[in-house]
Structure 1
Amino acid sequence: MNYWSGEYNLMNLHDRADNTDNVSTLSYQPDSTSMNDDDQTLQNNGLNVTYDDSENREKPKIVVFGKNTPDEEIIHILQNKFSYPVFISKNGHEFKDEHNVVFYTDDFSGIDFNYYNVNDKRILGPGVVRFHVREKTPLVIPREGRPKYCYNMQKHKICINFYPKSEVRQIVDLIHFMGGSAKREFTVNGILVTRQAKGSAYRLAVSVGGLILLPSWVKVCWDHRDDTDFDILDKNLIKAHTVPCFAGHKIFLCGFKEEDVEGMKEKIEKYEGNFVESYGECSHAIFVDNHVNFLNWPIISHNYSDKVYHVTAEWFWTSISVGSCAHEEAYSVLKKPLTTGIVSSRKRVNEGVRRSPCDFKKNMSHGSMDGTLDRTGSSGMSVDKMFSEEDINDVKVTSKQSKRYMVCMELLGTEENYVQCLRILEYDFKAEFEARNESGECIINAIQIKQIFSKVNGLLLVHTNILSCLKNEISNWHDNNAIGRIYSYEAEELKRVYRPYINNFDTACNTLNECSENEQFHVILKLIESRPELKRNSLKDLLIRPVQRMPSVVLLLKQLLAKTDRTNTDFVFLEHAIPKIETVVQETNSFLRETHDYTKSLEIFNDIEGLPAEIITSSRAVIDTLECCVVGASGSFWPEYVKKNIKIFFFNDIFVIAKIRSRYESKSNMDMSFKETKSLSRQASIANIFKRRPDKPYKYINYLLFPKIREVQFFSDSNCSGIFIIKMRLQLSDDLVIVKPLNETVPHLDPKSFFKQVAEHINKTSRQFEVEVICGEDIAQLERFNPEEAILIRKAIVQVSSANATSNMTSNRSSQFKRALTTVSLNFQSSLNRFGSKSTLNTIN
């Protein structure tokens, strides 16, 4: 039986438990009162005894009671260490009328404990005794009506702020039993115990960095009351019982994409919030940004409530990031408090119109940064936003010049927009992650930050200079201002900074994808992306902007050239600038292709075991690959690979042939084993189990130069799906190998898909070459001149044909077996249905 549900009338006990230590106001200064003010320590003639009442100098009796067997160790400590007279009783009732007595029990939930507590008796627990023994301090006797089991919460001020009242009484009592102080109001350096992430006490606790914990934390501490070394502020314990940031909130999402809504719903549920479909049910309405026009949303404008917090998505992600509910006023979408009459009755839309959260996105602009970060790259910035009024009045242009001027304005607007993108990458994203790393919150490491953002700073410096020059030319506008000269002079710098960025772009994207799997990184990323200045642009959107920038500059310069007279001095500058910028684009793209080719080649080189070092070179690029099974061979080394799966790597100057490791072969590849019945001995099977598997999927066989290939022939008929006969001349012999493509990497009716590329490449590099298609008559004619070669080809044709026939037969048998199973299943189900009908059921006695 729990102490709060005993058989006695516990009204007095409940009143006492509810009488928490009172603090009249929210104090910002630490409480100077000692946390041990419940106890008054006095020395009695040099004995290690401490009393709680200065008028009582006589040593009290300690009565040990309870249904459990008394702890002999505790009795020995009380008698010998602290020199107390100890009496053992079943329930202690014979001592209930005595004044100078202390009751000891390890059961703080029984009927007897409740009785003594209601009657203001002094009650002691085992944790108090063990604590003083360990600390070698005098035993402190609790005061009347304040039982103490242990000191696990000693010196902690805990504010209780939740309902229902019955549970509050339980929590207050447990805090007192563990030596803590329960407060009605939160104080600095205190701990707030609540269930919801709201209220004045919660806001104060957040502002001072206090702990905000669930009532379950107190109960877990009570479960460990016998552990004198238990740390109630252990990091893992605090993390498990911290109040979730959305606890008690009802959240309505406005204007988000469907995929964003699903992701945010998961976060709301994870952090103990409630997602609601209706604005009228919510406590928080979250918008994409702070550009909100309630006139577009009648469901909100008609039912607007001052009790609802209207906040941006940044509030949502900030709350998750910091682990507590962020202050709503800092992220409000409302510049001024709105009255209930937001929209006049004449402007209100039909009340019957209802839209889901996803429908609100139709009213949101696809947006850009203040009209500049649009997806087309063009600027929506008006002239009066860019220049002062006197600058605009000074600009005088003719109708013919205005076209050239407007192109220049578009060039300036897009450049300003682009520089803003780079600044956000450098000063919002990169700086945020670096600052968190410096503060010890290592979300991603320094290497990952460098891989994503390291090449942005160079772009920012060059384009900041270009932007400054453009502003200077356009703010002092004349028809002959040389816009082309700016890009002509900066072409080399552009080439210098764009090559490393383009080269690093794939690495940056891959690193970003890897980091996004980290939930903490994802939350911080969403937090930054939800800031109003980003206008719904993601980090991925911004990273790709440099890739798109230079081609758009070329197009704008060509438009400007078309609007410029030949007599204009800028005409010559533009003619020189455009080819230079085009060269920047071409060289960066070419460099990117070379890098991709080299990276792909390196990956292949790394996958081949035993590859000679001289084959690995940066100039060697892979063109294509072909997986095949060797079905016949003659010559120096090929016969040992018959019935083995190999892979031919077609590089720009050589072939590399490698054996496919058996454990890397796909199921479709295994079909090319010609359906031979093979068995392994038990010894061989066990040996294979314990044999160390190779790390690389391919084992090097040999390489082959293009001039060594004499000819390639292709044969197929109704039974044989297709084989390739490759004849080559090596140093010691003329070799022949017959291969059957695997996985249909070469379509049976199109032998040119792989070897056509080989033929075209050989035609370009050395000599005339083509793939020859042969038939049965050609093989018969070959038999007259080279019977050994003809026999080898015929054997290969027979093997491939029999493999195809076996495969078809197996497939047919499988289909028949499936149909038979289906028939049996249907018949069995029909029987069950008949058995289960009411007419066939018999009464079971």
Structure 2
Amino acid sequence: MALYNLCMKDTVCVLTGFKQDDDAIKELEKLVHWIQWMGGQARDRFPKSGSGDRATHVIASGVQCDKYGVAVAIGIPVLRKAWIHHLWKNRDKDINPHDPALIAEFRFKPFTGLKVFFHGFSETETKNVKDLCEKNGGEIAADEDDASYIVLEDLKGGHWQVTSTEGSSPKKERMINIICKKDLESDTDSDFALPRPLFFKQKSDGAVLPAEWFWQSVQIDSCAAPAGYPQYTPAETLSQGSLEKKRKNQASSKKTRRSRPRLSPLAESSSSRTRNASFDFSEDDSLSSPVPYSPTPVRTVRRNIVQEIHETEKNYCTILESILEIMKKSLDPNQIAGALLEASAAEQMHVYIHLINAIHVVHQQILDDLESTLFGWKEDCDIGPIFIGQCERLKEVYPPFVSVQPKLVSLISEWEKQYPRFQGLLKKCERGKEPGFEHLREHLRDLLIRPVQRLPSVLLLLKRLLEATKKVSSTMRDVNQLERAIHDTDKVVQTINSGMKGDLRQTVPSGKKAKRGSTATAISSALHGVASFGKSSGKKMKRAASGIIHWSPVLNKGNNGSHEDVSSLTKI
């Protein structure tokens, strides 16, 4: 075999999805010859494991080819045949076929060749998903009959019913009927607007898919395999009786999940008063099942309030962990198609991860102390010292984050628009469809308000605990300690509030140059403060902090040994 050059040396291309007519066969033969003349190998299937060869590229006719999903799963780029044409055209030049920019140019976009119809989305979200679909190579179908893929939104208060029936025409074509029904136990208002029904011919290469498929495809920058979403496939045929049975089972399961053990009426009343206070408490701060520390726990008012503090603290730590995991996942280079954020945004995200992790470390220590106290519960146990011992650290870790929290929320919105894959991850988390985040069902922007809310809620709970302790005995040692804990926690809240007011006073009007006291400087000084916290927080906390983030890419040391903000921080 003649060689023209060796630019495709060590390249193994798998060609798939091409038609079998004369013109397609001639085109395929031409591609194979070009690959071989440039030193590469051409195959019609993946090499067997253990053969010593490994496919490096897949040349396909579209995203619906048989080998497309396998290639995406194992991280092999799937390219258009134009890539081979480009290499052969520039065969006399010094060209690198593995150049990332060149691969990105000829790589299939997730929805290339697909006509997609979106149904059940709000007006704003419809515009968003249509724009994303077109930017990622897709075409918007005029109606359901014109579509190859139909994407159904996850409805709050309703569910989709998909049935397949045999048509009455002489050809007896299969027809797909999609209707939306309101959930029997939905909390949604009675005027819930049901999307219109869909009725269309079943296509052999078509699919009816949930919104999760769309956001997964955007996140991995490849078309997700429809076979992974069988609940809406057109081939599914259900009788009316089986559908009703399925819905009853789902309703029963939902009812079981909603039921939870209750505390005593007095504790429930106290919990209700707390949630009705001026602070905004979410459902995650409500009580879940009692902690099984003792087979026969003594149900006193004081113990119930301590348990409530423990449960809300546990929920709060879980939320902080989820925020950190979402942020770290956006930076993970080992996922399909690599990290979701580019270098400049990743540097800023590292800063925020460190600030939130510093808060998490302190609250995890508080949670551990509360669990130890509840495990060996006695009515005269001291709760005040748990918070007194952490107030100085709370004062160090909260102001840095709270001062930049509004900017982080704004950046999240900007990054969603700038990085569609990042938006795909957040949309899946919001819908509870991302593995490991099924419990969230909230947007990252909404979760970021929790650190602002937490300390005021702790203050209210400590005040309730002080009242209950005084009723047990006004001479109990924990009375004075709780009073001090309330005083110190209140000072932390006041410090945060004064810092937020200071940030507002430093806001620079549009068109004027920002001074040194800007958000970038605030973050730099915040990190310096958190660094000091890390040195004085004990070995256990330092180990926890070091496991989350390396800040060497973010901070530089100045000549005087102080931390200076680098260029990436000035963008914040």
Under a length normalisation based on structure 1, what TM-score does the superposition of the two structures give? 0.43
Tell me: CA distance 1:339–1:606, structure 2 relative to 1, closer, same or farther (3 Å).
Answer: closer
The answer to whether structure 1 residue 196 and structure 2 residue 55 are counterparts is no
Which of 374, 394, 400 lines up with 2:296 in the alignment? 394
The answer to whether structure 1 residue 272 and structure 2 residue 137 are counterparts is yes
Residue in 2 that maps onto 1:209 = 75
The answer to whether structure 1 residue 470 and structure 2 residue 370 are counterparts is yes
Amino acid at match of 1:204: V
In structure 2, C-alpha distance between the alignment counterparts of 1:548 and 1:299, rounded to whole Å: 40
The answer to whether structure 1 residue 413 and structure 2 residue 311 are counterparts is yes
In structure 2, C-alpha distance between the alignment counterparts of 1:515 and 1:256, rounded to whole Å: 22
Deviations 1:578-627 (A, max 9, x none): 232222111211123234434659997869xxxxxxxxxxxxxxxxxxxx
The answer to whether structure 1 residue 590 and structure 2 residue 492 are counterparts is no
Residue in 2 that maps onto 1:171 = 27
Amino acid at match of 2:241: S
In structure 2, C-alpha distance between the alignment counterparts of 1:415 and 1:342, rounded to whole Å: 48
Residue in 2 that maps onto 1:238 = 103
Tell me: CA distance 1:311–1:516, structure 2 relative to 1, closer, same or farther (3 Å).
Answer: closer
In structure 2, C-alpha distance between the alignment counterparts of 1:442 and 1:347, rounded to whole Å: 44
Residue in 1 that maps onto 2:162 = 300
The answer on whether the counterparts of 1:412 and 1:467 sit within 8 Å (CA) in structure 2 is: yes
The answer on whether the counterparts of 1:246 and 1:271 sit within 8 Å (CA) in structure 2 is: yes
In structure 2, C-alpha distance between the alignment counterparts of 1:283 and 1:193, rounded to whole Å: 23
Residue in 2 that maps onto 1:461 = 361
The answer on whether the counterparts of 2:11 and 2:56 sit within 8 Å (CA) in structure 1 is: no
The 5-angstrom pairing of residues 106-185 of structure 1 reads: 131=4, 157-163=13-19, 165-176=21-32, 178=34, 180=36, 183-185=43-45
Residue in 2 that maps onto 1:444 = 343
Tell me: CA distance 1:342–1:193, structure 2 relative to 1, closer, same or farther (3 Å).
Answer: farther
The answer to whether structure 1 residue 247 and structure 2 residue 147 are counterparts is no
- 1:507 is displaced (CA, Å) by 4.7
Residue in 2 that maps onto 1:540 = 445
Residue in 1 that maps onto 2:399 = 499
The answer to whether structure 1 residue 323 and structure 2 residue 185 are counterparts is no
The answer on whether the counterparts of 1:253 and 1:286 sit within 8 Å (CA) in structure 2 is: yes
The answer on whether the counterparts of 1:311 and 1:333 sit within 8 Å (CA) in structure 2 is: no
**SS in structure 2 at match of 1:458:** helix
**SS in structure 2 at match of 1:347:** helix
The answer on whether the counterparts of 1:157 and 1:191 sit within 8 Å (CA) in structure 2 is: yes
The 5-angstrom pairing of residues 781-820 of structure 1 reads: none
Compute the RMSD of aligned alpha carbons: 4.9
In structure 1, C-alpha distance between the alignment counterparts of 2:313 and 2:483, rounded to whole Å: 20
Tell me: CA distance 1:383–1:158, structure 2 relative to 1, closer, same or farther (3 Å).
Answer: closer
Which of 229, 241, 244 lines up with 1:347 in the alignment? 244
Which of 467, 471, 485 lines up with 1:577 in the alignment? 485
Residue in 1 that maps onto 2:270 = none
- 1:383 is displaced (CA, Å) by 4.9
Residue in 2 that maps onto 1:259 = 124
Amino acid at match of 1:185: R
Which of 321, 325, 333 lines up with 1:423 in the alignment? 321
**SS in structure 2 at match of 1:246:** coil
The answer on whether the counterparts of 1:491 and 1:584 sit within 8 Å (CA) in structure 2 is: yes
In structure 2, C-alpha distance between the alignment counterparts of 1:575 and 1:542, rounded to whole Å: 30
Tell me: CA distance 1:233–1:406, structure 2 relative to 1, closer, same or farther (3 Å).
Answer: same
Greater RCO, 1 or 2 (C-alpha within 8 Å, sep 6+):
2
Tell me: CA distance 1:468–1:340, structure 2 relative to 1, closer, same or farther (3 Å).
Answer: farther
The answer to whether structure 1 residue 557 and structure 2 residue 462 are counterparts is yes
The answer on whether the counterparts of 1:444 and 1:515 sit within 8 Å (CA) in structure 2 is: no
Tell me: CA distance 1:226–1:473, structure 2 relative to 1, closer, same or farther (3 Å).
Answer: closer
Tell me: CA distance 1:198–1:479, structure 2 relative to 1, closer, same or farther (3 Å).
Answer: farther
Amino acid at match of 1:297: H
How many pairs are equivalent? Answer: 428
Tell me: CA distance 1:523–1:379, structure 2 relative to 1, closer, same or farther (3 Å).
Answer: closer
Tell me: CA distance 1:167–1:583, structure 2 relative to 1, closer, same or farther (3 Å).
Answer: farther
**SS in structure 1 at match of 2:349:** helix
Amino acid at match of 2:135: K
The 5-angstrom pairing of residues 329-340 of structure 1 reads: 332=229, 340=237
- 1:504 is displaced (CA, Å) by 3.3
In structure 1, C-alpha distance between the alignment counterparts of 2:416 and 2:311, rounded to whole Å: 32
Deviations 1:502-551 (A, max 9, x none): 23334544554554553267447537745234623233223222112111
Deviations 1:456-492 (A, max 9, x none): 1221111001112223334444544443442233222
**SS in structure 2 at match of 1:376:** coil
- 1:412 is displaced (CA, Å) by 2.5
Tell me: CA distance 1:539–1:345, structure 2 relative to 1, closer, same or farther (3 Å).
Answer: closer
- 1:237 is displaced (CA, Å) by 3.8
The 5-angstrom pairing of residues 614-633 of structure 1 reads: none
- 1:429 is displaced (CA, Å) by 0.7
The 5-angstrom pairing of residues 611-760 of structure 1 reads: none
In structure 2, C-alpha distance between the alignment counterparts of 1:471 and 1:278, rounded to whole Å: 55
The answer on whether the counterparts of 1:318 and 1:527 sit within 8 Å (CA) in structure 2 is: no
Tell me: CA distance 1:343–1:279, structure 2 relative to 1, closer, same or farther (3 Å).
Answer: farther
Tell me: CA distance 1:152–1:417, structure 2 relative to 1, closer, same or farther (3 Å).
Answer: closer
Deviations 1:203-253 (A, max 9, x none): 23224433322244344456x277465555554443222122223556566
Deviations 1:343-372 (A, max 9, x none): 62683899xxxxxxxxxxxxx99x99x99x
Gaps of 5+ in 2: 48-53, 165-176, 179-201, 248-253, 262-274, 516-572
In structure 2, C-alpha distance between the alignment counterparts of 1:254 and 1:566, rounded to whole Å: 59
Q: Percent identity?
A: 23
Per mean C-alpha deviation after superposition, the further-off stretch among 498-507 and 262-271 is 498-507
The answer to whether structure 1 residue 489 and structure 2 residue 389 are counterparts is yes
Amino acid at match of 1:483: I
- 1:263 is displaced (CA, Å) by 1.8
Which of 457, 465, 471 lines up with 1:566 in the alignment? 471
The answer on whether the counterparts of 2:17 and 2:65 sit within 8 Å (CA) in structure 1 is: no
Tell me: CA distance 1:184–1:567, structure 2 relative to 1, closer, same or farther (3 Å).
Answer: closer
Residue in 2 that maps onto 1:93 = none
